[in-house]
Each structure stands twice: as structure tokens, then as C-alpha cells.
Amino acid sequence: MEAPGGTWMALNDNKAGMEGLDKDKINKIILEASKGSRYYESELKKEQKVNQRIEKMLQYKELITQQQLLRAQEQVEKMAADLERGRCLGRVIVHVDMDAFYAAVEMRDRPELKDRPMAVGSDRMLSTSNYHARKFGVRAAMPSFIARKLCPDLVIVPHNFEKYRAASTEVREVFSEYDPFFMPVSLDEAYLDFTEHLRERQGWPEARRTHTPRTETATAEGRGVEEGSQGDGGSADLSLVLFEDDPVSPPGPQGPAEPVVFGTGAEEAVREMRFRIEQRTSLTASAGIAPNMMLAKVCSDKNKPDGQYCIPADRQAVMDFIQDLPIRKVSGIGKVTEKMLRALGITTCSGLLQQGALLSLLFSELSWHHFLQISLGLGSTHIERDSERKSMSTERTFAEMSSAEQQFDLCRELCRDLAQDLQKEDLKGKTVTVKLKSVNFEVKTRASTVSSAVSSEEEIYAVARDLLKIEIDTASPHPLRLRLMGVRVSGFLSSDDRKSLQKSIVSFLQSSRPPGDTPLPNTAPDNPTPLSGGAVIQTGMSLTARPSKPGRSAREGQSFFQRAEAQRLRGQAGRGEEREGEQGEERGGVSSCSLQQGQAGLTCPICFQQQESADLRSFNHHIDQCLSAGPAQSHGQGGNLTLFNTHLDMCLNQDVLQELGPGPLSHNASVTASTEGKGTPEPCQSAPKPSSKNKRCGSPTLPSPKKAKGLNPRNTIDRFFR
DNA sequence: GCGGATCAC
DNA sequence: TATGGTGATCCGC
């Protein structure tokens, strides 16, 4: 999905599809509609702040001496040389982006929308628009009332996420044939590593690269008649084979459903993938091919819609491409950064390189390293799957709310929703954050970290309520006039915490064994208060057990069975509407439970008798029975317990799963290992990711941050601009 | 750990 | 009349 963009209030002409209305006219309409509104005033204020930041930066720049600059220049050059040495051109990275995804899905399913300007969204805000509407200046993240002013005939279609998810699933199935470990960014976007595919593809016979177009009548709507009103005329007339890549003969002109043969090179392979996506979904995709993710992402935008662009694996080609590339095109450089850099006279990537020394003196280390990498056309060459989530939140915008009572009610409601979401992923966190936005669009967040992780409505609300109360009391006697409230939970238990809890569970289970049995040497030493049997029994009684009280140790709020269920559900449902929990399908889940589930059903960990039903709920019920009957009932054998321990390990701990070594997960495991920075035997190191969570630079070819810091600790003067 | 900002989608 | 929701990260305290 295209980013909102826009330079403050004005229209962002960054993107394609701006042929219709006069840009000035569009901007005028937007301004007219916005002027005087609280939103507008707030935007002005924000802009002022940025301007001040820039002012400070420029003032500081004046203080920089020639000598400082020379020293900095040296340092930057050294760093650039190091980066250059680590440059990797050996991988073929592809970024795929579906064209106007939501809008395209709606148009596919409702052909009458096809030649009308339309957008997908709510009454208040648009998610995306079709290319027809874009000519009017109607864009993603635009409020609907402005869109209607720009284009009175605009049709606004409400979201239908089920459909988008379904389409996305189909697209991803195609992706996985080229890279089973592709990295989804959102429903409509992904990075793929084509390197392996291309290696294999070299030996493929033509037949394996031949695809027959679907006939027009194959599906309900078909892809309809492209009227070629947009872009480069759609892809109905696939002129695929006239590309350089492969000498295969073109199909006869307009032959009915003539098979299409694709070449063996990167561009042909990507063309083939896009062709298959369109055949499969009647949706078009754009793609970028490049030696790294940063470049691939920029490339996919270049020939949008329904096009692709390739930067060959050649240093000069990369540098040529980078030369005049506007910095704003690079993912991670947003409105504010662009403006700050523009104030320094930098608008293109080559400018970043030329002004490297200056930037190293004006920006934080992380920032100027990032800039330097961009300026050299470097980026990550390894595609890592999503890491574990770090927070979960829910927030809502509403008509002005000033009554404290209502605010507390709403807060509770948000906590309830959030608790439900947390439970779906079986998460507990220690930090609760409340977000408030006033009717003047001023945003405040207030956080509190508690000693034991929370996940239930009551637990979260207990914290959130206090935070909210402080704000209300502080503002008193004035009421808080809110337009938005949100609640977030973060600080999730680490996998180490999970391990320790899982050991605790095991030790609990041991405690229910008859005396005389030697206990497993498994008790968590770092958990001074192992779970009391009562606690587990209480909270583990059933899947509908009420939330646990505060003050308990980690994760005990849910039984193992609840968690197994949660994990299973996780494998089916995504995380959210737009950004899904992608790796759910590949990791863990019920598949790892086959150890016990297998043919006959599940084995009860208490009585060690097989249960017929594989249904977790009834199984859980059985456990309840067993537990109520008391430990005296249990008569397990050591063998079974060991087996069960193993099972617990597998089900409870995804890290353990990965450590289990080769197998379907080995790729993941190796990726994880390499990102740990423990020496990467790979031919290509992942370029140090600027915005990576890893503070240290992953590549051994990089100078240590320490060195840079020691050189000029005061270099980082971002704070002067704030 | 907290809070404000920035960014992506 | 009227400008979203979710998640991540960075920076300076």
C-alpha cells in the first residue's frame, strides 16, 4: 500500500497518477478544506517545531570549523571504504508490491467500478484509491470529506479485509514458489530472495518455464477488457518475451491462450511471477530487482503500476542509479528527515555522499551511518523473517469526550479488547501505556511498568486507570477533552522467561508424581517461587478460566493447554487487519504436537491415559477432572513423564523448536544465528541495518561503534535541534 | 524505563 | 463539521 506522504498539508506528488487535475488546484482545494481546522492548526504547530529544529541545526553548522570538517571527512571516508569492502552484489533481492491493492480487489469483484474513480476506506479516512481517483488528487490516508471535494463522483467502498486477506494468501502462494522464506511486509508487499531460485532455474527445461494464460471465461469476472486507460496499458497484451533475457520466440500475435515461455534470468523470472500472480488473482503487481532490499524497494516503485525495474549486480550500475535518486524515495527517510536534509542542500543520494562529513557532525552515529549506506547504494542482503512482536495496542478515535466517567469506561473497554488480543497470542507484558490525544491533536503517552506481567482486562485496567486518573487529576479542574484514547502493553516476557516458566510447569508436574520417583533435574533455579500447584490448577482449570490475580509469577495465568490452543489459533488467524502475524503458519503450532496427538488422541499429563478426543477443549476438561481428583490419582511412569517433558519443550518454546536442528526450520535457525552476529559464513553478509534492533553493526567489516564514538563523542548533537 | 518524534503501511 | 490504527525505533532524559 502506498504511504500517505504529503509535505505538510500539500499534496504529495511523489507518486504516479497525477495527470488529471492541476496540482495547484488540488492543493488549493485541500488547503481550503483544511484551513482553520484544529487539525490544520496542529499541523502548523508541528511544522514550526521542525523548523526550529532545523534552525538549531543550521546554527550549529555555522560553528563547525574547517578542521573538524576535515577530520570528519577522514572518518567518513574510512567508513565508506569499509562499507565498500563489505559490499555484496551476489544476491538477487526482489521487492513486490501489489498495485493499489485494496482498490484493485474491489474493482476486480465489481467491474462496474472499473472506470470510475473509487477509493477504499471508511467514512472518515481512505486507505487507498484507484489510479483513476488519483488523477483527482485522491490518495491514501486522505480524509474522505476532502476526497469528495476533490472528486465529487468518487465512490468510496468500505473495507473488506477478508477479501484482501484471501487475495493476499493467493499471492503469497505464488511468492513461496520463488522463495519459501519470503518476508511479507503487509498484505500487499513482500521481499523475496530469488538467488536460490535462479540458481536452480538455470537448469530448468523450457516446459517448466511455460505458462498458459487463463482463458477469458475461466472465472466469474475474468480480468475483463483492459481499456488501457492507465499506466502502460495493463498486461493483457503480455509482451513478455520480447525482453532481452531469453531468446525464446514470441507467441503469435493475439493467438488464443498461447502458452508463454519465460527465460531463465532474473527479470524473466520476476516477470513470470507477476504473470502468475495476475493469472491467479486478476491483480497486478509491480516489482523491483536489485542486489539488496533498500534498492529493490525503490525499484518496485519505479515502473508502477504493473511494471518492474532491475538494477543489475554491478557496482557502477548501482552507483548510477543512486546518483540522482531523491532521498525521499528511500524507505526510512520521511517528511521530516527530508526537510532537514534539504535545509543542508541535500536532495539526492549523491548529495548524502558529498556531504557525508557534515552529516557525521550534525546527526547521530546511527543516522549518519544510515545515510552513508544509502549514499553508497548499500542495504540488507538477507531477508529475515519477522521477529517476535514487542508490543500490542489498541486505540480509538471518537467525537470529543470530556466526561471523566466516560473516559474511564472507554479505558476499560480498550483494556478488555486488548486483553482479548493478548490472549489470542498468549502474551503478557510488564509495561502498560496509555495514549491520549486531545481535541487539539496533542498526543501524550503515559507508561508504567509493573513487576509482574499482565494480560487480563482487570490487570491492564488497574494500571491504565491509574495513569488516566493522574492525567485527569493534573488537568483538573479542567476536564480532559479527548479525541483519541489508546492502551498498549509491551515488555513481553522474553523467551528465557518462557523457558523458566516451562521448567516450573515441569517441576509442578513432578510434584504430582507418586513419592519414590526420582525427580527430573529440570527445576528452574532462577525461579525462586515455583508455581504452586494450586495456582496452576486454578488458572488451568479450563479454557474459560477467569483472569488471574496480580502478583503471580510469569505466564501462570494460562494453562499449557490454553497456550497450545492459542498457538493453534495463531497459526490460523493473523495478528491484525492489515499487518498479519505472518510466520504463524510455518512455525510451531499444532504440527509440533503430533508427538502426542498422533493417531489415537492426546495423553493426559496427569493420569497418563490416552484420550480419544483430539479436541483441546474436551481434553482440557478431562484435565480438570483429573486435577480435581487430586494428585493421588496420578500413576505415571518415568518414561511417560520424560516424553511429556519433551512435548512441553516443543510446544511451549519456539526457540527450542528452532534449536532442534535441521529440518524444515533449519533455514530460520541459520538466519537467526547469522543475525546474532556470531560470524557469518555466508558469502554475503547482511549489510548493517540502520534501523535494526541490533545496536551493534552486524557486519564484521564495519568499524566498531566504540571507535567512532571515542573519536568525537560530541558529534551527536541531535539534541541541539530539539 | 519514559515520553516525544519519526516512519511505514 | 470533518484528518486512522498498529507496530517499531531512536533519542535524550
* Strand C lies under 7 A from the Cβ of residue A706: no
The nucleotides of chain B lying under 7 Å from a protein CB are: 1-9
Separation of A518 CA and C8 C1' (Å): 47
* Strand C lies under 7 A from the Cβ of residue A60: no
Between CA A523 and CA A505 the distance in angstroms is: 9
A70 burial level (CB within 10 Å; 0-12, 13-18, 19+): exposed
User: Is the CATH number of domain A93-116+153-221+229-313 3.20.20.70?
Assistant: no
Q: Point out the nucleotide closest to A50 (alpha carbon to C1′).
A: B5
Phi, psi of A16 (to 5 degrees): -75, 170
* Strand C lies under 7 A from the Cβ of residue A396: yes
| pLDDT value of position A39 | 98
Q: Tell me which fold the domain A391-490 belongs to.
A: Dna Ligase; domain 1 (3.30.1490)
Helix, strand, coil in percent for chain A, rounding step 5: 45, 15, 40
What radius of gyration, in Å, describes the C-alpha atoms of chain A? Answer: 29
Between CA A138 and CA A17 the distance in angstroms is: 10
* Strand C lies under 7 A from the Cβ of residue A33: yes
Asked whether A583 and A385 are in contact (CB, 8 A), the reply is yes
Starting at the edge strand found earlier in the chain, the sheet holding A482-492 runs A391-401, A482-492, A429-438, A443-454
Angle formed at CA A231 by CA A259 and CA A198, multiple of 5 degrees: 45
In chain A, where does the domain assigned CATH 3.30.70.270 lie?
A: 93-116+153-221+229-313
In chain A, where does the domain assigned CATH 3.30.1490.100 lie?
A: 391-490
Between CA A297 and CA A288 the distance in angstroms is: 6
Mark residues 420-459 of chain A whose C-beta is closer than 7 A to nucleic acid strand C.
421
The DSSP annotation for A226-238 comes to ----STT--SSS-
| pLDDT value of position A455 | 98
Separation of A492 CA and B1 C1' (Å): 14
Separation of A258 CA and B9 C1' (Å): 38
Q: Which residue is nearest to nucleotide B3 (CA to C1')?
A: A445
* Strand C lies under 7 A from the Cβ of residue A334: no
| pLDDT value of position A257 | 82
Mean per-residue pLDDT pooled into runs of 10, chain A (722 residues): 51 54 90 96 98 98 98 98 98 98 98 97 96 96 97 97 98 98 98 98 98 69 36 35 39 70 98 98 98 98 98 98 98 98 98 98 98 98 91 98 98 98 98 98 98 98 98 97 98 76 61 40 30 22 24 29 34 37 28 28 42 41 37 33 33 34 28 29 40 31 28 35 43
| pLDDT value of position A498 | 66
| Residue recorded with cell 516450573 | A504
3-state secondary structure of A352: helix
| pLDDT value of position A720 | 41
3-state secondary structure of A394: strand
Q: Point out the nucleotide closest to A436 (alpha carbon to C1′).
A: B3
- C-alpha cell of A436? 491520549
Between CA A657 and CA A589 the distance in angstroms is: 10
| pLDDT value of position A392 | 98
Mark residues 114-153 of chain A whose C-beta is closer than 7 A to nucleic acid strand C.
124-125, 127, 141-143, 145-146
* Strand C lies under 7 A from the Cβ of residue A575: yes
